Structure 1
Amino acid sequence: MLTRRNLIAAGLAGTSLGAFAQFRVEISGVGATQVPIAIPRFRDEDKAAQQISAIVRADLERSGFFRPVEVNGAALDETARPAMSEWRARSVDALAAGSVQRLADGRVDVRFKLWDVVKGSELGGQASAVDPADLRLAAHRIADYIYEKLTGDKGVFSTRIAYVTRGGGRYTLRVADSDGEGGQVALNSPEPIISPAWSPDGRELAYVSFESQKAVIYAQDVMSGKRRPIANFRGSNSAPAWSPDGGTIAATLSREGGSQLFLMDRNGGNVRRLTSSSAIDTEPCFSADGRTIYFVSDRGGGPQVYRVATGGGGVERVTFAGSYNISPAISADGRTLAYVTRQGNSFKLQTLDLSTPGSQPASLTDTSDDESPSFAPNGKLIIYATRAGGRDVLMTTTLDGRIKARLVSTTADVREPTWGPYGR
């Protein structure tokens, strides 16, 4: 399958939405500190199209901060007055319970309440009436509420991911929930699609398509499917990245000879060159404040991660360990760089603490074909592509590598993941 890493290696060496099959989430690993939480089945959820409690439990477990506790058929909802001493005896620190009820207008009323078992106090709850098609989203929002109440950080379970699949001789750009479920088709093509990138408002996806037998950058409205060309210049147009304000796109263009970084307005106008070297400069990504661009260059002899101010100027090398480092991604707080390093014949996901001078890379995986890391918007999880069991799959990992969730596709090879922003 043609991927960004294939293109980098080669270079350095010389519509509307429709339904898609679901993933199956497999979670492994043990976190260092986890909150034991009990989430019994919501009252009457068996009458709904989605098992709300199961979705919430899986979300929280995947985060690495929670350990779901077996409830052994306990029955209670948001109106209950739990016997806290009994739950403490089960070594439960937090408890969430709720109900699902179909309304006369066809919508579904979803309610829940959260309790701090240790303190014996209520932590609030929510009630919402949703279309049956939005029950998964309602469950993800419950998980977000619980996550934020108990960790102080914003949850990301109601956000979306985008990725590319290959099967039957076709390439498909898809959009799904953050757990890989509810996938929908954004674009089908007989030619490769690579490098999807979310706009900061979550309304558009930029990507590279080869349907015209060359690399062209498009931006596509996620809801309507309407798209527009962003960069179709002479030569190759690749690796789009949005600025945090959504007004600028960085990309790698070869329109002036060689592959260099350029900036342009979101509609493709006002093109200006950012880097000027005899090397290949590619895979740009913006820092959260928009002042810095991280990118990959072989200007030092082999591919490494560098950075440069968006206004131009001197280029600074960031990675030094290893001779082949590509695919940079930056956490929202700017403290952590994720990237892929080559170790022998293996490609491994690593992180580097940018806030501590002289820090050494940390390896997060035991797989050998990792690529395309992308941070969740809260910076607590990374999604990436890899190969496991003879198939291309997506994985999420906590930043310490202790908790991994394998999003297993049952119908196609899956690559090129990118995590969408808040705001859905």
Structure 2
Amino acid sequence: MRHCLALVCLLIVSLGAQAQLTIEITRGVDDPTKIAVVPLEMTSGEPLEEDIGRIVEADLQRSGFFSAVERGDMLSFPKKPAEVFFRDWRALGTEYLLSGRVEEVDGRYRVHYDLFDVLNEKRVLSDQTVEGGPRQLRDIAHAISDRVYETLTGIPGVFSTKIVYVEALRGEEGDAEIYDTFRLMLADADGARPTMLLESDDPILSPDWSPDGNQVAYVSFETSRPAIFVQNLATGDRRQVTDFKGLNGAPTWSPDGDKLALVLSKDGNPEIYTLDLSSGQFTRLTQHFAIDTEPSWTPDGEGIVFTSNRGGKPQIYQVTLANGRVERLTFEGDYNARGQISPDGRTMVMVHQRDGVFHIAAQDLKTGTLRILTETRLDESPSIAPNGAMLMYATHRNDEGVLAVVSLDAGTRYFLPSEEGDVREPAWSPYLN
């Protein structure tokens, strides 16, 4: 079977070298599958600028489901199926083997790879190919990781996705230390290749991806009050879509990409609205004297979940767009906020307060069962990966803002601290074509 994937880079010009997020894995599954990823190297010529095999290895280990065979322990580096001797790999306890080679064709790189079931001595994936240009070696590696991960787990991989987040840099004002620079950043899901989308002296909040992955909406205070902007990632063009007095916040895209849900206080009280991006028409969805905020769409686009203190303390509610009916979704605990529903509609993640500590929790929407997913403190801003298996959130560690990732079964955890400044407000992209 021959699988060929055309990889397209986002056409974004970096505004100088940016600090990269690093990865610190703290937990994986108890009995990870042992996989060997041999070096995927050129058959001849100069070495590649990126080690494709190492990137694949790191991707798979970061998922928590796999542990990698050390290269120093490998007895051979097969490039073709005929060079694979299963007894050598069984001796290392290897369950699966990924091998292949890279060739250059007309200035582009083509990677051929095979995935072997070592114990049963058979190929699981045969003669797969991925192509890309010289600047797309990491994209090639992530595409291979996605293919291997889905083949072995049945879950689509998210290694080729992106994240946006806010980086806050500290400065000094007199004797006080303050945040005086804010950057909206774009990076690979593993934190690599960071690119600055926007830099401002004023806060940036609540980035959210359009469902086609081409645009990001966010809140900026650059106009002296909060305003919502939409930015095209390929061109850098941006436009302001709200300019009301008071609160303009928390934009989230509808699943079809035609609307934004947002919070406005233009009529006196923070309420949930939708904005039709084509017509510019605003539609008010909630009518209550309480504070309604933090909207998020249901996967089918037929409802919006939001945070409200209409019951006395912050809880999560859902409004049905067809009839305006509002129902309460959370009942356990005195504080539940920032709700987001998984792509399959089964689980809602949220910020949940327990014993005075803010954690990320997941609630089964059928049974109502709530599980605490995180062990850190001051956790906020959960964002679910498009495969529904992982979520990213912001937290604090050693008095610094960092990003962290946890699986929805809480079995896998890792941190993404920044080399420079505090990081916060993560948003995981949809699948990118």
Query: Common fold, TM-score beyond 0.5?
Result: yes
Match in the other structure for 2:421:
412
Would you say 1:381 and 2:383 are equivalent positions?
no
Which ranges in structure 1 are unaligned for 5 or more consecutive residues?
Answer: 1-14
Which is further off, 73-82 or 312-321? Answer: 73-82
**Aligned 1:57-76 pairs, distance under 5 A:** 57-71=57-71, 72-76=73-77
Deviation at residue 44 of structure 1 after TM alignment: 4.4
> Residues 313, 146 of structure 1: CA spacing in aligned structure 2 closer, same or farther, 3 A cutoff?
same
Determine if contact 1:239/1:251 at 8 Å carries over to the other structure.
Answer: yes
Distance 1:229 1:384 in 2: 27
Determine if contact 2:41/2:48 at 8 Å carries over to the other structure.
Answer: no
> Residues 98, 348 of structure 1: CA spacing in aligned structure 2 closer, same or farther, 3 A cutoff?
same
**Aligned 1:24-63 pairs, distance under 5 A:** 24-44=22-42, 47-63=47-63
Determine if contact 1:275/1:312 at 8 Å carries over to the other structure.
Answer: no
Which is further off, 179-188 or 74-83? Answer: 74-83
Deviation at residue 311 of structure 1 after TM alignment: 2.5
Distance 2:203 2:299 in 1: 29
Would you say 1:347 and 2:345 are equivalent positions?
no
Provide the alpha-carbon RMSD of the alignment.
1.9
Match in the other structure for 2:118:
117
Distance 1:125 1:66 in 2: 22
> Residues 414, 422 of structure 1: CA spacing in aligned structure 2 closer, same or farther, 3 A cutoff?
same
Q: Percent identity?
A: 41
Deviation at residue 267 of structure 1 after TM alignment: 4.4
Match in the other structure for 1:248:
259
Q: Could you tell me the TM-score, scaled by structure 2's length? A: 0.89
Determine if contact 2:28/2:65 at 8 Å carries over to the other structure.
Answer: no
Question: What amino acid does structure 2 have at the position aligned with 1:65?
Answer: F
Question: What amino acid does structure 1 have at the position aligned with 2:195?
Answer: Q
Question: What amino acid does structure 2 have at the position aligned with 1:147?
Answer: Y
Determine if contact 1:43/1:76 at 8 Å carries over to the other structure.
Answer: no
Match in the other structure for 1:134:
136
Would you say 1:189 and 2:191 are equivalent positions?
no
Determine if contact 2:215/2:230 at 8 Å carries over to the other structure.
Answer: yes
The SS at the match of 1:386 is: strand
Distance 1:259 1:415 in 2: 24
Match in the other structure for 1:9:
none
Deviation at residue 16 of structure 1 after TM alignment: 4.8
Match in the other structure for 1:177:
188
Match for residue 412 of structure 2 among 382, 388, 403: 403
Distance 1:125 1:341 in 2: 47
Deviation at residue 194 of structure 1 after TM alignment: 0.2
Distance 2:279 2:228 in 1: 9
The count of residues paired between Structure 1 and Structure 2 equals 407
Q: Could you tell me the TM-score, scaled by structure 1's length? A: 0.91
Deviation at residue 268 of structure 1 after TM alignment: 6.6
Match in the other structure for 1:98:
100
Would you say 1:280 and 2:278 are equivalent positions?
no
Determine if contact 1:40/1:74 at 8 Å carries over to the other structure.
Answer: no
Would you say 1:324 and 2:335 are equivalent positions?
yes
Which ranges in structure 2 are unaligned for 5 or more consecutive residues?
Answer: 1-11, 171-179
Match in the other structure for 1:392:
401
* Deviation string, structure 1 residues 86-139 (Cα, Å, up to 9, x no partner): 323322221101223445x44333232111223322122432332221111111
Distance 2:49 2:100 in 1: 16
Distance 1:33 1:124 in 2: 27
